[in-house]
Chains A and B, each alone.
Chain A
Amino acid sequence: MDLLAQQLINGLFIGSVYGLFAVGYTLVFGVLDMLNLAHAAVFTLGGLIALWLVETAGLSLWLAFPGAVLACGVLGLILDRVAFAPLRRRADSNFSGLISSIAMAIIFESAALGLFGARTVRFPVHTLSVHIWRWGGISITSLQVEIVAVAIFLMVVLTQFLNRARAGKAIRAVAENDLTARLLGIHVDGIIAFTFFISSALGGAAGILFGLYFDSLSPDMGRSIELKGLAVIILGGMGSIPGAIIGGLAFGLSEVLTVAITGTSNLRDAVAFTVLFAVLILRPAGIFGRKKMREA
Chain B
Amino acid sequence: MDALNQFFAIYGSLVNFMGINALLALSLYLTLSAGQLSLGSAAFAAIGGYTAGILTMKFGVPFLLSIAAGSIFSGMVGLVIGLPVLRLRGVFLAIATLSFGEVVRIVVLNLDITGGAQGLVGIPNFTTTWGIYLTLAVAGYGIARLRHSRAGWCFESIREDETAASAMGINTTYYKTLAFTLGAILAGLAGGLYAHLNYIITPREFGFSFAVDLLIYNIVGGIRIWYGPVLGAFLLTALPEILRGTGVAAGPMRMAANGLILLLVILFLPNGLVSIFTRNRKPPAGISPVSVAEEV
- The yes or no answer to B88 lying at the interface (CB within 8 A) is yes
- Bound: A90/B252 CA distance, A: 31
- The yes or no answer to B255 lying at the interface (CB within 8 A) is yes
Q: B219 contacts which chain A residues (CB < 8 A)? A: 96, 99
Q: B138 contacts which chain A residues (CB < 8 A)? A: none
CB <8 Å contact, B109 and A266: yes
Q: B255 contacts which chain A residues (CB < 8 A)? A: 106, 109-110, 113
CB <8 Å contact, B99 and A276: yes
Evaluate whether A280 and B95 lie within 8 angstroms (CB atoms) in the complex, with A90-B270, A106-B255 already known.
Answer: yes
- Residue interface bits B138-152, CB-to-A below 8 A is 1, else 0: 000000000000000
CB <8 Å contact, A104 and B102: no
Name which of B65-73, B178-186, B259-267, B280-288 contacts chain A. B259-267
CB <8 Å contact, B258 and A114: no
- Residue interface bits A69-99, CB-to-B below 8 A is 1, else 0: 0000000000000110011001010111011
CB <8 Å contact, B84 and A82: no
CB <8 Å contact, A281 and B216: no
CB <8 Å contact, A107 and B212: no
Evaluate whether A277 and B110 lie within 8 angstroms (CB atoms) in the complex, with A99-B266, A227-B208 already known.
Answer: no
- The yes or no answer to B92 lying at the interface (CB within 8 A) is yes
CB <8 Å contact, A107 and B106: no
Q: CB < 8 Å: which of B87, B91, B106, B109 contacts A273?
A: B106
CB <8 Å contact, A281 and B84: yes
Q: Interface residue tally of chain A, by bracket?
A: 35 or more
Main secondary structure of the interface of A (DSSP, over half): helix
> Which A residue sits closest to B256, measured CB to CB?
A110
CB <8 Å contact, B84 and A106: no
Q: A200 contacts which chain B residues (CB < 8 A)? A: none
- The yes or no answer to B243 lying at the interface (CB within 8 A) is no
- The yes or no answer to A165 lying at the interface (CB within 8 A) is no
Q: A102 contacts which chain B residues (CB < 8 A)? A: 212, 215-216, 262
> Which B residue sits closest to A107, measured CB to CB?
B259
- Tell me the minimal C-beta distance from A214 to chain B in angstroms: 20
Interface residues of B in 65-114 (CB under 8 A from A): 84-85, 87-88, 90-92, 94-96, 98-100, 102-103, 106-107, 109-110
> Which A residue sits closest to B81, measured CB to CB?
A277
Q: B92 contacts which chain A residues (CB < 8 A)? A: 234, 238, 280, 284
Q: B266 contacts which chain A residues (CB < 8 A)? A: 87, 96, 99-100, 103
- The yes or no answer to B37 lying at the interface (CB within 8 A) is yes
- Bound: A231/B95 CA distance, A: 8
Q: CB < 8 Å: which of B88, B102, B103 contacts A280?
A: B88
Evaluate whether A230 and B98 lie within 8 angstroms (CB atoms) in the complex, with A114-B251, A267-B106 already known.
Answer: yes
- The yes or no answer to A130 lying at the interface (CB within 8 A) is no
- Bound: A216/B214 CA distance, A: 31
Q: A118 contacts which chain B residues (CB < 8 A)? A: 251
- Bound: A277/B212 CA distance, A: 19
CB <8 Å contact, A226 and B252: no
Q: CB < 8 Å: which of B96, B215, B258 contacts A277?
A: B96
- Bound: A105/B208 CA distance, A: 14
> Which A residue sits closest to B96, measured CB to CB?
A280
Would you mind naming 20 contact pairs between A and B with Cβ atoms under 8 Å apart? A35-B91, A94-B91, A99-B266, A100-B263, A103-B259, A104-B259, A104-B263, A107-B260, A107-B263, A109-B255, A111-B256, A113-B252, A118-B251, A223-B209, A269-B102, A270-B107, A270-B110, A274-B99, A276-B95, A277-B96
Given contacts A105-B259, A234-B95, A280-B99, 9 further A-B contacts (CB under 8 A): A94-B90, A107-B259, A107-B263, A110-B259, A227-B208, A269-B102, A274-B99, A277-B103, A281-B84
Q: Which residues of B contact A (CB under 8 A)?
A: 37, 84-85, 87-88, 90-92, 94-96, 98-100, 102-103, 106-107, 109-110, 208-209, 212, 215-216, 219, 251-253, 255-256, 258-260, 262-263, 266-267, 270
